[in-house]
Amino acid sequence: MPRMIFPNMAVADVERAKQFFSALGFSFNPQFTDHNAACMVVNELACVMLLKAEFFRTFTTRTPVDTRTHLESLIAIELESRDAVDAMVKTALANGGQPAMPPQDHGFMYQHSFLDPDGHQWEPFYMDPSHVQPMS
């Protein structure tokens, strides 16, 4: 049975985060979205929970990172083409995101990146399907 995955990220303003990611083409599951959290649908097996920072802290005894100065993870997301990668980064920057790293062309894979308004680094990428080996 395939497993779903729900990364959780702290955000300062849930509505601002929803507006930003809506501009990038993501939708939200209203069943798990309220003033404290937004369930951003990536696909049928992956969602990202955007949690108001104060609410996020109730899920851990550890100190969340300050994304203005530290990076906790890179969120890589596969897109259907190089053009789609560049379009997502362009849209992110036009809607309050910041540049993170310059584009990187590895021949079989192309990636670019941006920081969302809360400082999380996203890495949209395209990988040539002919170079992908089936996972067993």
Q: What is the pLDDT of residues 3-56, one digit of tens each?
A: 999 999 999 999 999 999 999 999 999 999 999 999 999 999 999 999 999 999
Q: What is the pLDDT of residues 107-135, one digit of tens each?
A: 999 999 999 999 999 999 999 988 877 76
Q: Name the residue with tokens 């005894």.
A: 61
Q: What pLDDT is recorded for position 136? A: 65
Please give the mean pLDDT across all residues of the chain: 95
Q: What pLDDT is recorded for position 83? A: 98
Give me the half-sphere count of Cα atoms (radius 13 Å) on the Cβ side of residue 93.
14
Q: Which of 3, 19, 43, 47 is nearest to 118 (CA)?
A: 19
